[in-house]
Structure 1
Amino acid sequence: MLKKDLRRKYSKLRKDISVPSLINSSLHISNRLLQLPIWSLDYYHIFLSISQKKEIDTSFTVSILQGKNKNVVVPKVDSNGKLLNCLLSQNTKLKKSVWQIPEPVECNEIPSKLIDVVFIPLLAFDTQGNRVGYGKGFYDGFLKECRPDVIKVGVSLFEAEKSIADVSTEDVPLNYCVTPEKTYTFPSS
């Protein structure tokens, strides 16, 4: 399938999911993440959920990271459309952006090269580790600024598609993708 068709399909599937099912799936994903070999590292970049788009509730994973005394980094889009990496602390005040994304009001910026693991939002992914996001390219640009060995973990409410027809050279593949039912490991990892 083409990315535009996958976006349409998975946006509808997400829209139709119930809030209790979304919370349950988010909890399962957080528990599955604990099985990945990523927990000895220091800096973890994680998106904060857009509740209106019924994204996976990442608050469970943020709590796990904080409980393990990890450096939690969240994104903020600057005026040039670039993702900034903001250190999340107990005192961080959040405000919803124009896209309804909770973002830090003030950003204690962390260089992309310091980040060890990135949890990546997505609408769909395939069995080769390619992903479909919202189409703005924020994460592809950001991931190219990270170290080559950064671990890229997608989280998805739905299982993998067989393939994405229009993958480009600009697309950065995942190392893992975790769903409520399964953990996928990709050859690139």
Structure 2
Amino acid sequence: MLKKDLRKQYSKLREEIPIPSLVNSSLRISNRLLQLPIWSFDYYHMFLSIREKREIDTSFTLSILQGRNKNVVVPKVGSNGKLLNCLLSNETKFKKSVWQIPEPVQCNEIASKLIDVVFIPLLAFDTKGNRVGYGKGFYDGFLKECRPDVIKVGVSLFEAENSITDVSMEDVPLNYCVTPEKVYTFPLS
């Protein structure tokens, strides 16, 4: 299936999810993330949920990371359209961007090369680890700035599609994707 069709289909499916189901699924995903071999690292990049788009509530996973004393980095879109990696602290204050994304007001920027694990928002993914986001390319650009061995973890409310037919050379695939029901592991390319 084409990315544009998947965006349309999964955006509509997400709109129809009742809030209590979204919260339950988010908690299940967070608990399932604990099964991954990713918890011995130092720097974790975590997206903050766009509530208006019924994204997975990442606050549960943030609590796990903070409870394990991990360095948590959250994204902010810079003036050049690139993602900035802002170190989260107890003093971090947030403001919603034009896309309704909670972003730090002040950014204590961390180099992309320091990040060990990236949690990636997505609308859909396939059985090969290809992913579909909103189509802006923020994460593809950011992931190319990370080390080649950075661990890429998608989180999805829905199970894998068989195939995304218009994958390009610019697309960066996942290592893992976690849904409320399952953990997907993808072979390293």
Q: Name the CA distance, whole Å, in 2 between partners of 1:82 and 1:145.
A: 10
Pairwise CA distance, 1:87:
0.3
1:47 aligns with 2:66: no
Q: Is the 8 A contact 1:32 1:180 kept in 2?
A: yes
Paired AA for residue 134 in structure 1:
Y
In the alignment, is the contact (CA less than 8 A) between 1:173 and 1:188 conserved in 2? no
> After the TM superposition, which parts of structure 1 deviate over 2 Å for at least 4 consecutive aligned residues?
none
Q: Give the whole-Å Cα distance in 2 for the aligned partners of 1:48 and 1:187.
A: 27
Deviation at 1:119, TM superposition (A): 0.1
What residue in structure 1 maps to residue 109 of structure 2?
109
Q: 5+ unaligned residues in a row in structure 2: which ranges?
A: none
1:152 aligns with 2:189: no
Shift of 1:188: 1.7
Task: State the one-letter code of the partner of 2:156.
Answer: S
Indicate the residue corresponding to 2:142 in structure 1. 142
- 2:97 is matched with which residue? 97
The amino acid of 2:15's aligned partner reads K
Specify the alignment match of 1:66 in structure 2: 66
CA distance in 1, matches of 2:101, 2:7: 19
Structure 1 counterpart of 2:125: 125
Fraction of identical pairs, as percent: 86
Partner of 2:77: 77
TM-score scaled by length of structure 1: 0.99
Counterpart of 1:178, as a letter, is V
Deviations 1:58-93 (A, max 9, x none): 000001000000000000001110000000011100
Unaligned runs of 5+ in 1: none
The 3-state SS of whatever aligns with 1:118 is strand
What is the rounded CA distance, in whole Å, between the counterparts of 2:90 and 2:34 in structure 1? 22
Q: Is the 8 A contact 1:115 1:150 kept in 2?
A: yes
Q: Secondary structure at the match of 1:29?
A: helix
Return the letter of the residue paired with 1:72. Answer: V
SS of structure 2 residue aligned to 1:154: strand
Hey, what does 2:165 align to over in structure 1? Answer: 165
